[in-house]
Amino acid sequence: MLTRKQHELICFIEDRLADTGVSPSFEEMKDALELKSKSGVHRLISALEERGYLRRLPNRARALEVLKAPERGAEAKKAAPPSIKRAMPEPANDVVEIPLHGRIAAGVPIEAFEGSTMLPVPAALLGSGEHFALEVAGDSMVEAGIFDGDYALIRRQEVARDGEIVVALIEDSEATLKYFRHEGAMIRLDPANRAYDPQRYAPAQVRVQGKLAGLLRRYS
């Protein structure tokens, strides 16, 4: 049985495909279901895929295929009511896909956002807001437990407080993962490795792209 939000989403997608032949965007789905972020849309789509209602078509943006039509009318009322749904937390093993933008230097800055694919991430690792992932390259954050080859899960935001680990875009071309701090009129980006020196920039040279929200690590 589908939850009410799952049912609303599959109906919305089916209706849009019937009207235009094109899948709705994640932003349109978020607005239609009155969700706070697109992460919620990812969770619902993954759940509908698991239940055999939807299929994502590979190598095509915004390409969804309805495999099983939802029940309409009286049958739709059998979806879990809001009072029950609120009492049931999302399953801990839910997986969402977030953009993987490439490699980011944890040592000296390297060119950021080399490409974009999707990375499956346990939903429990993400909070509210929009997220993306970057693969860590380098060892300057090892004392913060961030190692070469880790995936940094980043909550997209443009401001940061002193002491937070952020993705900082330097002169709109290079990015690095560092502790963010103010130092007088300058911005200081601190490594977590005593072998590296802090980096100092004028505020106009640095734009915060997001704050570290979590890490994924592969073991081979």
Between CA 49 and CA 139 the distance in angstroms is 38
Q: Pick the catalytic residue: 38, 140, 173, 211?
A: 140
Question: Which stretches of the chain are DSSP H helices?
Answer: 4-20, 26-32, 38-50, 82-87
**Cβ-contact 176, 139 below 8 angstroms:** no
Smallest CA-to-CA distance from 193 within 123, 127, 144 is with: 144
Active site residue 128: no
Between CA 25 and CA 35 the distance in angstroms is 14
Q: Pick the catalytic residue: 128, 178, 211, 220?
A: 178
Q: Tell me which residues are annotated as active site.
A: 140, 178
